[in-house]
Structure 1
């Protein structure tokens, strides 16, 4: 297992070179500037679109704006918000959260552009059904000469959609929160039983297709976000005197990184600060997936003939999953002090914070949230993987991916966390390259679409 951890760690480091940070953050800043900060100026309008004010059942697409966002959020609001934040803080301290915020703010513009393009350049699969996503806006928007980028995205998208981190951390949560405290010996057999249960529930949902996934996600995600929000607020109220201190520490430690060990930054450009920035951006990318290209596949299925509207809805994703949910997780871990008093990592560290604030029942309430977040992520990632498979091999072959997907659940339940998170980090980096390159190239077309939409909106309101 040590060899596996070392291999995946080197793979992740290689994929996340300095050039990719420039592409994700630098590219996102470029998109924010060329749009004249539109995501922030149209925030109120985005809420109206999300609430269904402009919905038209006759528009092309499969699902509503709201269901498109909740489907996208069902993949991003999960272990990235619970285990990912805990991992960032355990390695980089409070300052890692600051760089996750930066990735989210920049990611709002990236999500806007990529999801607008997903509607502007929808294509058809081999069955003739309308589809959206980076592979389609690359081929439809840039032409056949750029198809290699679409193939690259789809190939790595098949791997990146495998639910290995969610399953791994859900298994760890069940072991650490439920089984071990109750005297159950954890071994390969118990992990396989957990995997079998997850396979059963996942199979029922993903074999039903996008509409079943979106219907379930639209019911599960909002209720779980509200429950998680309430639970963390209780923790913050209990530790109210500590909140200002640690909130300020997120800013002050963003440029110090005293928690990092030498092994974390000895090979990183920029040394200790560079390692902290990289850590925050990686965990931010895992949390909100801005620039990775998964969300545009869900938003590309929205019922609309106005691409800008779906882009505005999509930009709300990083606000919800990183600026709100991840910040809540970070503060819960920080104010309870468990990040300094335990050696726990990942989801177990977050569970320690809940148990510290609400002894006897806190970690069980967290377990409910973890289970729902993880299951909703399992459903939506399966949809992303089948779309990538359809593009590469034809829509009639996509069901084969579902069998691969279900099989990977068993692998993830029996493999170390470090190996799984490094693997997905590296794959996400390779997915971001074609997504961001194509988006930057076509950015002027989106700006033109923005101007047209503003003119149509103005005439509509007159």
Structure 2
């Protein structure tokens, strides 16, 4: 096991080196510039499109545009928002939060481009369900000579799903519930596997229905609790902002049990955990948005980019501020345990609330990623492989709950990068299509809604 961990660790250091960070941030920045900062200017209009949802029921697709966003959010709002943010701060210092914000802002352009391409190049499978995402916009957008790149993404997508969206989630929940309630990890694994099976075996429509209810409730409840804590300590917020910005460019000195962190560490862990949380550039979310009932790829792109804004700018920021307000980040803790300690120190019973929230977040993440993995399997083997994949997905959950946490996180982090590489390359190559569709669909006067 030590040998495998060492190999994965070496690969992780390679794929999450400066070239990857530059590629992720650079792709987002390039798309943002090419779009004339449209994603940032269109945030209010995107929310209007989301809640209006007009004509979506009459268009081709499997789920509504709102449900598509909720399905993608179900996969992103998970352990990354609780354990991931805590890990970033524990390893990169307060400055990591600043780089998470930067990743999210440029990531909005990336997520927009992903969804535009996903809807524009999607296909229907033998059962009449829509399939889309990087493997399809690579195959249909770049032509036969790039099919190897599409297959590469789908291959990593299957295995990344079992790490990012399955075993990591189960492991984090089992760890948190054992620490808080002394619940045996095998019990957590069994309960999660049963609950996931009841939903996943029903396909994307059942996943979207459950996500459409659970995701808004859990996100609002978690943010409300965090905002109450922030409001109780509102006078300290300006100083925290200064701390985050200063640490982002000057590093963080050792204090208490915190070992200190360089600027490089702040950038590395801020970007890595930001991508782990919001998945912009990873290529996962467009798989869900490709199933939306819409004929307007630009509208769906506007809705899709809200996922990054909600996940990182709102939810992750709240977690980060609570951790910094508590001072718990200076004690040497990391992961979900740090988040639970932070909330508990600022509000009674906070650790129980975090543990329950983590369980619900992880549950919905498993649902969203089950669909992502399924579509990657369909790309290779067709619809007859769906049932076998769903059974394997459910079976992996209790195994993940009992696995070693550090190795699972390391493996998931590595698979994140390997999955992102073919997607980012495809987005750069297809960027002229994204820019052209945006110009075509948006009015010359910058109207709020894309033309039908």
- Using the size of structure 2 for normalisation, the TM-score is 0.93
**Deviations 1:400-426, CA, capped at 9 Å, x for gaps:** 222222222122112222211111111
1:354 maps to 343
Higher mean C-alpha displacement, 226-235 vs 53-62: 53-62
The residue that corresponds to 1:187 in the other structure is none
2:112–2:301: 8 Å Cα contact kept in structure 1? yes
| 1:432 partnered with 2:426 | no
The question of whether the paired residues in 2 share the 8 Å contact of 1:91 and 1:259 is answered with no
Q: CA RMSD in A?
A: 2.2
CA distance in 2, matches of 1:410, 1:391: 27
| Secondary structure class of the residue paired with 2:56 | coil
Matched, 1:300 2:294: no
* Residues 251, 374 of structure 1: alpha-carbon distance in 2 compared, 3 angstrom cutoff: same
Please point out which of 217, 224, 232 is paired with 1:238: 232
Show the counterpart of 1:418.
406
Offset, 1:53: 4.4
User: Could you say which residue in structure 1 is the equivalent of 2:146?
Assistant: 146
Q: CA deviation at 1:363?
A: 1.5
Question: Could you tell me which residue of structure 1 aligns to residue 74 of structure 2?
Answer: 74
Q: CA deviation at 1:18?
A: 2.3
Partners in 1 of 2:451 and 2:73 — Cα distance?
Answer: 31
| CA shift for structure 1 position 259 | 5.1
Corresponding residue number in structure 2 for 1:11: 11
Residues 241 and 3 of structure 1: is their aligned pair in 2 closer, same or farther, counting only changes over 3 Å?
Answer: farther
Equivalent in the alignment of 1:171: 174
**In structure 2, distance between residues paired with 1:461 and 1:117:** 17
Query: 5+ unaligned residues in a row in structure 2: which ranges?
Result: none
- Alpha-carbon distance change, 53 to 206 in structure 1, aligned in 2, over 3 angstroms: closer
The alignment partner of 1:57 has SS state of helix
Deviation string, structure 1 residues 329-357 (Cα, Å, up to 9, x no partner):
001011011111x3321111100011111
Deviations 1:51-103 (A, max 9, x none): 13433322111111111111100111110000000001111111000000010
Q: TM-score, normalised by structure 1?
A: 0.91
CA distance in 1, matches of 2:245, 2:281: 25
More off after superposition, 157-166 vs 74-83: 157-166
Matching of residues 335-414 of structure 1 within 5 Å: 335-340=325-330, 342-359=331-348, 361-414=349-402
Asked if residue 288 in structure 1 is aligned to residue 291 in structure 2, the reply is no
Deviation at 1:366, TM superposition (A): 2.0
Distance 2:4 2:346 in 1: 36
Verify the 8 A CA contact 1:77 1:287 in the aligned structure 2: yes
Q: CA deviation at 1:450?
A: 0.9
- The 10-residue stretch of structure 1 (345-354 or 392-401) with the greater mean CA deviation from structure 2: 392-401
CA 1:84–1:25: 2 relative to 1, 3 Å: same
User: Residue 430 of structure 2 is aligned with which of 428, 438, 442?
Assistant: 442
- Could you tell me how far apart the structure 1 residues matched to 2:99 and 2:172 are? 23
> What does residue 268 of structure 1 align with?
none
- Count of residue pairs brought into register by the alignment: 444
Q: For residue 42 of structure 1, report the CA deviation from its aligned partner.
A: 2.0
